[in-house]
Amino acid sequence: MKVHRVLLILAPVFLLGALALSPAPAAAGEAAIRLGRPAWRPGDTWTFLRTPEKPPDPKRTIQYTVLFRARLEDGEYYVLQREGKEYFYSMGLGFRMSRGKGVERENRPAFPAFRGLWEGRRVWEERMEIFGPDQAPRPGGGVFRVVGRDRVKVPAGSFDAVHITFTEGGKLSREYWYAQRARWTVLEKVYWREGGWTDELQAFTVR
């Protein structure tokens, strides 16, 4: 009888101990998403419809075309053309630099909007220096977070996309919807105090 009483007393203790040692189940929607990093090739093209947040700025189309690869001091980059200027993106699709007659904007290191997708991480953070012409470098960066998967409909069609947010100083700055089929974003929203915009994919050609 005494043995039975001891077991009845100890059973809840062992149960609580087992629960404490067991890993807590992930909350709904918190599972990491891991995707294969895409490869861009010369001639790949994406055309976006840009809708400014503040009128009377008109809607307009923006086209990016992959030209070639180039090596900078910190690694290899894709070079894309847009409206006569060159845009440098890392092999992980992080924006590094834009260049017209000279460098217009430069991030060191590249802006890692999608890095967590290749690494299977839900949250990642980056601090960087931002350079502009005739300006002192300024600090930048913030926190990126994978929200989950969405079905997104844009002029180019319907896509299964991964929703990512970027916050600076606790404030939402950008949202991305990345689709494997398009190998880039199909929808992007920018929230800037001086005026943001929405980019929707109109057409794309990837090989």
Q: Cα dihedral sign for 113, 64, 76, 184?
A: positive
Categorize the per-residue pLDDT at 196 as very low, low, confident or very high, splitting at 50, 70 and 90.
very high
Percentage of the chain modeled with pLDDT above 70: 86
CATH class of 43-205: mainly beta
What does the domain layout of the chain look like in residue ranges? 43-205
- The CA distance from 188 to 49, in Å, is 10
Q: What is the mean pLDDT of residues 13-37?
A: 52
- Whether the per-residue pLDDT at 17 is higher than 80: the answer is no
Q: Is 184 exposed, middle or buried (0-12, 13-18, 19+ CB in 10 A)?
A: buried
- The CA distance from 22 to 16, in Å, is 10
Residues 71-114 have pLDDT tens digits of 999 999 999 999 999 999 999 999 999 999 999 999 999 999 99
Residues 171-185 have pLDDT tens digits of 999 999 999 999 999
Categorize the per-residue pLDDT at 194 as very low, low, confident or very high, splitting at 50, 70 and 90.
confident
Residues 32-75 have pLDDT tens digits of 899 999 999 999 999 999 999 987 889 999 999 999 999 999 99
| pTM assigned to the model | 0.84
Q: What is the mean pLDDT of residues 2-14?
A: 37
Partner residues linked to 106 by β-bridges: 97, 131
> Which amino acid, residue 108?
R
Per the prediction, the chain carries an average pLDDT of: 87
As a dihedral over the C-alpha atoms of residue 62, residue 63, residue 69, residue 74, rounded to 10 degrees, the angle is: 10
